[in-house]
Amino acid sequence: MPKDEFTPRTFSVVGTRPLRPDGIDKVTGRARYGADISAPGMLTGMVLRSPHAHARICSIDTSVAAAMPGVKAVITRADFPVHPENNGTADVLDNCMADKKALYDGHAVAAVAASSRRAALDALATIKVVYEVLPHVLDVDEAMKLDAPILHKGRKQEGVPADVSDNVLTRTEYGHGDPEIGFQMADLVIERQFKTAATHQGYIEPHSCLATLGSDGQGDLWVCTQGHYMARNTCAEILGLDSGCLRVTPSEIGGGFGGKTTVFLEPTALLLSQKSGRPVKMTMTREEVFRASGPTASTSIDIKIGMTKDGTITAAKGDYRYQNGAYEAMNGTLGAMTGFAPYDLDHVKTVGWDVVT
64-115 pLDDT, tens digit per residue, is 999 999 999 999 999 999 988 767 799 999 999 999 999 999 999 999 999 9
Q: Is 121 within the bounds of a domain?
A: yes
Is residue 341 pLDDT above 80, yes or no? Answer: yes
CA 303 to each of CA 315, 319, 324: distance values in angstroms, whole numbers, following the listed order: 11, 7, 20
Residue 164 sits at the vertex; the CA angle it makes with 339 and 300, to the nearest 5 degrees, is 35
Residue 337 sits at the vertex; the CA angle it makes with 336 and 342, to the nearest 5 degrees, is 110
Q: Within 10 A of 250 (CB to CB), how many other CB atoms are there?
A: 17
Is residue 262 pLDDT above 70, yes or no? Answer: yes
Query: Does residue 260 contact residue 253 with C-beta atoms inside 8 Å?
Result: yes
Same domain as 305, residue 286 = no
For residue 144, the model assigns a pLDDT of 98
What is the percent of the chain with per-residue pLDDT over 70, rounded to a whole number?
A: 98
Same domain as 85, residue 54 = yes
Which of 277, 292, 307 marks a domain boundary?
292
Same domain as 109, residue 74 = yes
Residue 90: which CATH number? 3.90.1170.50
Q: Is 27 within the bounds of a domain?
A: no
Mean residue pLDDT across the chain: 95
Q: Within 10 A of 273 (CB to CB), how many other CB atoms are there?
A: 29
Residue whose C-alpha is closest to residue 206's, from 220, 229, 223, 221? 223
Which of 238, 267, 292 marks a domain boundary?
292
Is residue 294 pLDDT above 90, yes or no? Answer: no
Same domain as 331, residue 281 = no
Query: Does residue 126 contact residue 307 with C-beta atoms inside 8 Å?
Result: no
Chain-centroid distance, C-alpha 333: 17
pTM for the model: 0.93
Same domain as 206, residue 116 = yes
- Give mean pLDDT, residues 321-337: 96
Confidence category of residue 6, pLDDT binned at 50, 70, 90: low
Q: Which domain holds residue 61?
A: 40-134+202-292
Confidence category of residue 247, pLDDT binned at 50, 70, 90: very high
Number of domains forming the structure of the chain? 2
Same domain as 306, residue 195 = yes
Confidence category of residue 162, pLDDT binned at 50, 70, 90: very high
For residue 62, the model assigns a pLDDT of 99
For residue 345, the model assigns a pLDDT of 98
Q: Is 16 within the bounds of a domain?
A: no
- Give mean pLDDT, residues 223-227: 96
Same domain as 165, residue 56 = no
Is residue 3 pLDDT above 70, yes or no? Answer: no
Residue 320: which CATH number? 3.30.365.10
For residue 128, the model assigns a pLDDT of 99
Rounded Cα gap, residues 335 and 170, in angstroms: 13
CA 9 to each of CA 1, 15, 126, 185: distance values in angstroms, whole numbers, following the listed order: 14, 11, 68, 44
- Give mean pLDDT, residues 33-58: 98
Which of 273, 292, 311 marks a domain boundary?
292
Same domain as 209, residue 186 = no
- Give mean pLDDT, residues 177-191: 98
Is residue 208 pLDDT above 80, yes or no? Answer: yes
Helix (H) or strand (E) holding 222: strand 219-223
